[in-house]
Each structure stands twice: as structure tokens, then as C-alpha cells.
Chain A
Amino acid sequence: MKTMLAVLALLITIAAAGCQRVQPQSVFGTWKLLPEKSTDLATWRYRLPQLSIDSTGAPVRAILHWMERSRVASADTFLLDPGGDTLEVPVRSRLWSANWYMGVLAVENSVRKVSGSWSQKPVGLNLTSEQPVSISQGETLLRTRWEYRLDPSTGLLTVREQRSSRPTPVVMVFERLEQ
């Protein structure tokens, strides 16, 4: 009896370990930022982004939830039809979450235009966005390219954000929270 129980326990352990090794190999899911592997983000009140990517509807939807502990303080939504038309996403808040230290605001009631395509479906996705922003000299158009890459070997998702106005990219590395 004792032997049977030990064998059963061993089988359960092996099965569980096997399940752990089978990571979902796609960018879809919910992702938590790893600050120590990412660029220093200048966020308000140390908010950290949590990324959700899904495709339950026709377009792919990527939402950056800016978290204050467990509370969602604000959200940036990107709707994307990979390889298809440019989609327009309404901007409802002046808050420009990307960098709290810079004198840049989003323009309330403007639209963000988003387009993109799979570079390697479903582990590599490219987005470009255009959105008007308010600065001290008035308004200007901010163009951003986003590259989402899942590394199957580590299970980590790297998002490389390159703004046309910035000399260096902002790199965010995420680990999966849930599918």
C-alpha cells in the first residue's frame, strides 16, 4: 500500500512538472513587468505596467494597465488588426503614462492610430502608433514603434518601445501572469 502511494505521488509530481514545462507559446495572456530586467520607467507614484493581450474579438487588443499595487490606476489601450487597416483608438485622458517626468500630455478626445502585423505569429507582433501630444510649444505628433517578442526558451515577453522623438528605446520585460 505504502509503495503504491509513493508511486502515485511520484506520478503526480512528474505530471505537474510536465504541465509547468508546457508554457503557452504566444504573446496572448496577462503579463507582469520585471522592473529589474527593464528600462527605468518614470512613472507616477511608482506605478508599474501590467500588459494584457487578447484576440477574443476580431482585432488584437493590447492594454497596458498601470498598476498602483493591485489597483488599476489608468490604462492605455491599443487595438490592432494585424496586416489590416489602421484602427483608431479614442484617447479619453490627458495623462500620458509613458513618462511622468517629462512635460508631455495626451490630448483629450483625440485619437491614436494603430497599425501593425505579426512578425512571427503568435510570438512576434509589431505595432506602430501615431498620437498627438501636448508639449510646452503646443502640439506635435508622436510616432511610436512597438515590438512584442516572446522568447520560448525563457517564457519572457520583451516589449521594445521606440518613439521617433527618443534617442534610445524603452525596453520592458514581462513574465506571464496568466494565459
Chain B
Amino acid sequence: MLRTMFSLLFCLTLTGVAQDRHYMMRLSENWEIQGDLPSHALLISLQGIANIEAPRLYFLYPEKWDFNFTPPLLEYYQTTRGMSFAELHGVEEALATLARHARGYVVWDKEVRTSLIVAFTVAGLTRSVVVTEDQVALVEKHGLVVQEDFRGKFTGKTDVEIYRWAYEQYWDRCSKDILVYMGGEWGKVMKPGVADFGILKQAFFTDASTNPTDTLEYAFANTLFASMKPMSLVMGWHSYKKDKEAQHVTLASRYALRVEGLHTLPNMSFNHQIPVSAGFRFTNNHTVVPGRRYRLEKKVYIACIQTDCLGLGAWTKPGRGEIPYAWEVTMNWSWLAPAMLQFFYDMATPNDYFIGSLSGPGYMYPKAIPPEHLSAVIDSAYSLMKILDLNTFEIMDHSAYWETDGVDDDLPREILEAYFERMPGVIGMANGYRPGHTFAVIDGKPFVSYDYYLGEKRDSNEAVADLQELATLNAERPYFLLMHVRQWSDIKHVKGILERLGPEFEVVPLDLFLRMAAAEPTFKTRFGEPLR
């Protein structure tokens, strides 16, 4: 008994988890500049600063937040790591408890939204919290001194003028490994969930447009991306107002940078510091037994993949585990937030199968990656897959998407061959977002594009008809129908659709689906145009 207690204490000391007191706070649903955003921004910056030396402050995000796992993850930390959390109520109490970890404050201008984005940059560099003028007296009461004051400084200036100024002032001191895109919502709302991590890592913050028609901001974004080290992270997300996801990821990929969404990713300064439990190894739920032969029938085989990252939608919703389901793993969480990823692996049922994504060690478009970087990108992704016990990989490329009305997410043969050559342990790959049109078997391993996209708002009767129509059009059996389930669809809804398809259809685990597709591929081999 005594030995167990000593070893537990030793483990906790090694992991650093139990050395500091932990605090938690609840954040509200209001993220408006004239609402709760000033308080939230202050608290998130305080979180980034307070968590520099140890994981101290954790937030419970509201119910409608993109990532919906902050309550169960807190509970997981409590039950598996023995962590206890004291709840803080309001900014005043948070400052009273944690302001000693900060050196100062930065004032942002509520009339110029972009000033808050620059303030986050300064917060990381000066160990400061971000405040509006209404909050100055409050933070001074706790001994903090002004580091920068942006009141009126950017009035009348465009975003690119502000960002150029910030670049001149701060870029040299900022991280070249992590850049934060504080995009997403725009106008009177901002949801800076990932800002704590950017502050912790002294990242530069921006939302500069990657739309080539926004010539000035686009040029600035190119300057930023070119100044980062290849393979570094672009965290956060693009601005929904300024540009498109495909433009953002395409431009990042051109500099071999990996996008790691979203702007709302919560508590990363905390989660980053919680290791996996002692002796833990990531173990996937494989169905295929090596060497075993599988009998194929004249059926329609369906495999479901939920894309768009773990924790955004269905994982915590009812129905998980009732049918075979494949989940995209955000592979960088293995080092960005190890215990958080362990949380998902620990919760997985035998029907939850994890796959590597998305095109690289992060979100990238292979057709846009400079050829001299492609091998390193694939190797890095493969090394993460091995750590995470993943043997299926997923690719998505929308670098030509908007120019082709959403039709072209095809891949040329040379890219497929590069992936299969450098990932010798994979059993197959999936491709696309909407239905793709690249199909092949390379070295006995299938490359299968999505044949169906199930949007979360799709009428159930029409979804059933869609799938039945696909099975009629693709008349040969077995027919391999790979289905992309949009992340907001819960599994009960998906199951209800699949159950109505009839006896000819069978839902199978993705690894079995790929094994069978390799054995009897009935799709027609098709590649995208060769790269120019």
C-alpha cells in the first residue's frame, strides 16, 4: 500500500501534474465586443500567462462552442490524473488568484477589432493580459503595469496597415514555429479560444487574407508564411469574412506549413502540459487480422468516416459505438495535447477506428506542397501514424476546388505513389471531402475516394434515396461506397439512414472495407491530371 502511494506520488511529480493548484472557470455564450468578449479575452490571455510554468487554469466552454469536450475532459483529468480544480468566479477572482504570473497589461481598442489581435501578440511577448479601457483600473489594482496602449492608435487604419506595423514592431521576437490565425467569426464577434496557446508560445497573431484578390493582405500573408520555418504550424483558422478555407490551406501548403485548426481550440496551454499516463500506448481498434482471407459477397459495402477533427461534433453525442465508424485523428495532438488525445483513445469503443489525417502532419494540400518538401511532409505524417497505431490515411486537396466549382479534388498518380511508397505500413487511403474521383490500387493497396457526402442537414428520406441511387448507378457487386459524414451529424441520425437501405447494403469497419476493396476492386482506376 505504502509502495503504491509512493509510486503514485513519484509519477505525479514526474508528470508535474499535481505540483500546482488547478483552477477552472465557466465561460458564457456571449463573444461580442460589446458583450462578454472583453472579459473572455482578458481571461484567455491570463490563462496563457498563468499556464506558462504549469497547467493552472482550465476553462469550461459553453454548450454551443465548436469543441464540445471541455466538460468530459475536465472530468477525465479529475478521475485519471487525480487533479482537483477550484472554481473561480469572474474576472476579479481570477486576477486575484493568478495575476501574480503576469507582468503587465495591453489595452486594446473596442472601436478597432484588429487591435485585439495585435494585443494577443504583445501579450505573449510581454507576459501581459489584454484589457479594454474599462478594465484598466481593475488590473492596475492587481499590480499590473501598462506595456502597450492601442487606444486610438489604429483608428482609420486598414488591417494590412495595422499588421504591417505589428510585423515591424514584433515579428523578430515572435515564434517562427507557430503562427496564429485569429479568424473565424468576424465583425462584432471574436472567439479566441486558441489565443492562450499562442500567447504561451509567443506567436504572432493575424487574420490577414489569403484571397489573391485581396492583393495587399495576400502579399502580407505571403510575407508571414515565407518567414516561418517549413513544417511549422499555422494554428487558428482563416477569417470567414476575408477568404476561404481552401485559399488559406493552399497558401500555407505552398510554404510547406501545416494548418492546425481551429481558432476555437480550447485550453491548449493547459492540455499541452498534461502527458499521457505512465506506460500508456496509443492502441487502435483494428478489425482486419493479418493473413486472414475475407469472403466477399455481392453486396454494397459502406464505410463511414467522420471528418473535420475529433471533438467537433459527434464524438460526445449519442450513438457512438453502435455502428462501425472511422474517425479522423488530429495527429498533432499527440505532442500538442497528449493526454487530451489519450482521452479519445481511452473512450473509444471497438467500433471506433482511428485514421491518420489530413494529407500530412496537419491539414495540407499535397498538390500545393512544393515537391522538394513533399517527402518530408509524408515522412512526418507517417511517424505520427506509427505513434498513434494508425494504418489508414486520408488525403484531401482543395487547391483547385474553387476554380472548378467544387469538382476537382483529384490527385495525380505521382502523388499517390509518393504516399504509398513512404508509408509502407498503410493498408489503404481515403480521399476527398465531397465525393472525389480518384480511385486506384497501388502495390495491392486501395486508394478510394468518397462516393457520398452526408451533410448534417440532409433530409433522411433523400439521403436514403441518394445511397440507393448510387447503388443502382454502380451496378457491379461488390460495390464499395465510402461515405464522408460531416462532423455535426450525430451517429443516431446516420444509423437511422443506414438501417433503411435494405439487406443488400452492409456497413463494415473501414479497415475491412479497404482490405476487401483491395481484393476485388470494382471501381475504375482514375487519376487527376499530372502536376505541371
Contact = CB atoms under 8 A, between A and B. Distances in A.
Contact of B435 (A73, A95, A103): A103
Contacts of B469: 102, 163, 165-167
Contact of B470 (A45, A103, A105): A103
B452 A137 contact: no
A138 B466 CA distance: 18
Contacts of B470: 102-104, 135
Interface stretch (A17-25, A36-44, A123-131): A36-44
B344 to A, nearest CB: 28
Q: Is the interface of A mostly helix, strand, loop or mixed?
A: loop
Interface string A60-99: 0000000000000110000000000000000001110001
Interface bin, chain B: 35 or more
B484 to A, nearest CB: 9
Contact of B449 (A104, A136, A166, A167): A136
B11 to A, nearest CB: 49
Contacts of A104: 435, 470, 473
Contact of B451 (A45, A100, A102): A102
A103 B455 CA distance: 14
B473 A133 contact: yes
A136 B474 contact: yes
B454 interface: yes
Query: Which 6 residue pairs spanning A and B have beta carbons closest together?
Result: A103-B435, A103-B451, A40-B459, A165-B472, A166-B469, A138-B524
| B458, B473, B523: residue with the most chain A Cβ atoms closer than 10 Å | B473
Interface in B425-481: 434-437, 439, 449-455, 458-459, 461-462, 465-466, 468-470, 472-476, 479-480
A134 interface: yes
A102 to B, nearest CB: 5
Given A101-B452, A167-B469, A135 B462 contact: no
Contacts of A44: 405-406, 434
B479 A102 contact: no
A140 interface: yes
Contacts of B466: 42, 99, 101-102
Given A101-B453, A105-B437, A133-B473, A167 B465 contact: yes
Nearest to A96: B407
Contacts, number: 91
A99 B462 CA distance: 11
A165 B461 CA distance: 16
Contacts of B437: 103, 105, 134, 136
Contacts of A42: 455, 458, 462, 466
B473 A39 contact: no
A133 B469 CA distance: 13
Contacts of B407: 94-95, 105
Contacts of B459: 39-40
A77 B410 CA distance: 27
Given A135-B473, A136-B474, A167-B468, 20 more contacts: A40-B458, A40-B462, A44-B406, A44-B434, A100-B406, A100-B434, A101-B435, A101-B453, A101-B454, A101-B458, A102-B435, A102-B452, A102-B469, A102-B470, A103-B436, A105-B437, A136-B523, A137-B524, A163-B469, A165-B473
A101 B434 contact: yes
